[in-house]
Amino acid sequence: MNVLLIGGGGREHALAFSISSSKRVGRLFCSPGNAGIAKIAHCVNIDTSNHAAVIDFCKISDITFVVIGPEGELVAGLSDTLSAHGIKCFGPSKAASQLEGSKAFVKDLCASARIPTAAYERFSEEAAALSYVASQPTPIVIKANGLASGKGVVIAQTHEEARAAVRDCFSGRFGEAGRELIIEEFLEGEEASFFVLTDGQTILPLTSAQDYKRVFDGDKGPNTGGMGAYCPAPVMTSAMTERVMSEIIEPTIKAMTKRGTPYKGVLYAGLMIGEEGPKLIEYNVRFGDPECQVLVMRLRSDLVPAMLACVDGTLERVSLMWREDVSLTVVMAAKGYPGTPAKGGVIRGLIEAGDDPQVEIFHAGTKKEGDRIIANGGRVLNVTARGKTVGEARERAYKAIDKINWSDGFYRTDIGWRAIKREGKA
């Protein structure tokens, strides 16, 4: 069958890497793709906000299965449009995508289904939000309600920072996403990401990861879409995984079905593991970025049949196999990120950096000009490696980075530090 993959970031390169190896796949197309994806798929330019254009392309190119990578297209209902035209699509419906598209929706669902999460209040007026902030202890968390590309969350250490975050939201910095905001208590503990596949009834656990949101070493600076990750997360023991499934994931899937908006696809739970156990920070309705990169590096099985089973309602027949190795990815970003990134820089040394069979370099913000690879985004490369330990995987990843010549790039040097500290105590 022919497959269309929507998206052009590091997550989509990782998905293309996995999908292209499937025996079920004939031709793989990707829109818009990037310089790395172009090596394994046919990159095409489709205006994915124009659903009719997507349908036309699928008909012309005999596409029978579409995989949607980014959250924007899911929240906009592209999955519904494809399904209505008889084209199978991996990704939840518009209604189900509210699990990421509206933080208020998630918090209210948690309240009704008794899912453990941070205490919160919702605000649509600046004055009321500022008054509430003044009455709360710090640190405190300010979240734009809608999609903000991973940049709509501020962990305010002081009341002054909290007031500034509230004003930013209501000033229009995040557009429609900031018309309403959520103010949450700050949760103590260790963060983890947990992934499952579901067809709305059966839930198949995948694996866990731990990512790094802050832009600089030592978890300093503003939040980003993610500067690195490793998989699995040691804090997600088998006992903790069972608790997450029974206390968070299963009640969510049941609640969504009860509401008449069954959830089908991959569900990504951002968690805080504290003294009281796991609490939900947020849901994403797609594979994480850069978590997807470390996930596919450990996956032995063909992912395509599992994705199809989510659509067909046959997930109970599926099992997946994983490598025992751990994996780690380091994001190379353009100077200026997460603000205005420096674009146009030439990237050299990628072939040499990828010589190690345990290393994959997933492109995110790149394009090809002649024989040159050019930086064309904020997060530009994901240098990803496997190893028997997090320390070994990290050593491989940073050795590969040392071979990359890109003067406009930067990266964190401490990815995996928490797990490596644990390994040192073992």
DSSP labels, 195-214: EEEESSS-EEEEEEEEE--E
Q: What is the pLDDT of residues 2-37, one digit of tens each?
A: 999 999 999 999 999 999 999 999 999 999 999 999
400 and 369 inside one domain: yes
Residue 104 lies in a domain: no
Does residue 119 fall inside a structural domain? no
Whether 111 has a pLDDT exceeding 80, the answer reads yes
One domain, residues 197 and 308: yes
Q: Are residues 313 and 195 in the same domain?
A: yes
pLDDT single digits (tens) 286-334: 999 999 999 999 999 999 999 999 999 999 999 999 999 999 999 999 9
Angle between helices 417-425 and 390-401 (to 10 degrees): 140
Query: Do the domain assignments include residue 293?
Result: yes
Note the pLDDT of residue 173: 85
Q: How many domains does the chain contain in total?
A: 4
Question: Mean pLDDT over residues 192-203, rounded?
Answer: 98
Percentage above 90 pLDDT, the chain = 92
> Would you place residue 425 in the very low, low, confident or very high pLDDT band (cuts 50, 70, 90)?
low
Contact criterion met (CB below 8 Å) for 133 and 181: no
Closest CA to 14 of 232, 212, 297: 297
Residues 277 and 342 occupy one common structural domain: no
Residue 356 lies in domain: 326-425
Q: What is the mean pLDDT of residues 146-174?
A: 89
pLDDT tens digits along 33-71: 999 999 999 999 999 999 999 999 999 999 999 999 999
Nearest to 183 by CA among 237, 251, 132: 132
* 288, 317, 346 - which closes a domain: 317
Examine residue 111 and state whether it is found in any structural domain, yes or no: no
Both 172 and 195 in a single domain?
no
Last residue of a domain, one of 156, 179, 202: 179
pLDDT of 150 higher than 80: no
CATH of the domain at 138: 3.30.1490.20
Do 169 and 217 belong together in one domain? no
**For 407, phi and psi rounded to 5 degrees?**
-70, -25
| Residue 415's CATH number | 3.90.600.10
Residue 176, classed as helix, strand or coil, is helix
Are residues 269 and 331 part of one domain? Answer: no
Q: How confident is the prediction for the chain on average, in pLDDT?
A: 95
Let me know if 179 is exposed, middle or buried by CB neighbors in 10 A (0-12, 13-18, 19+). middle
pTM for this structure?
0.94
The CATH number of the domain where 31 resides is what?
Answer: 3.40.50.20
Phi, psi of 424 (to 5 degrees): -65, -25
Residue 152, pLDDT > 70, answer yes
User: 109: alpha, beta or left, given left = phi > 0 and alpha = psi -120 to 50?
Assistant: alpha
CA distance 125 to 117: 23
Separation between Cα atoms, residue 334 and residue 381, nearest integer Å: 9
Residue 105 lies in a domain: no
Are 351 and 391 contained in the same domain?
yes
CA-wise closest residue to 153 among 108, 112, 214: 214
| 133 and 204 fall within a common domain | no
Within a domain: 211: yes
Whether 303 and 359 map to the same domain: the answer is no
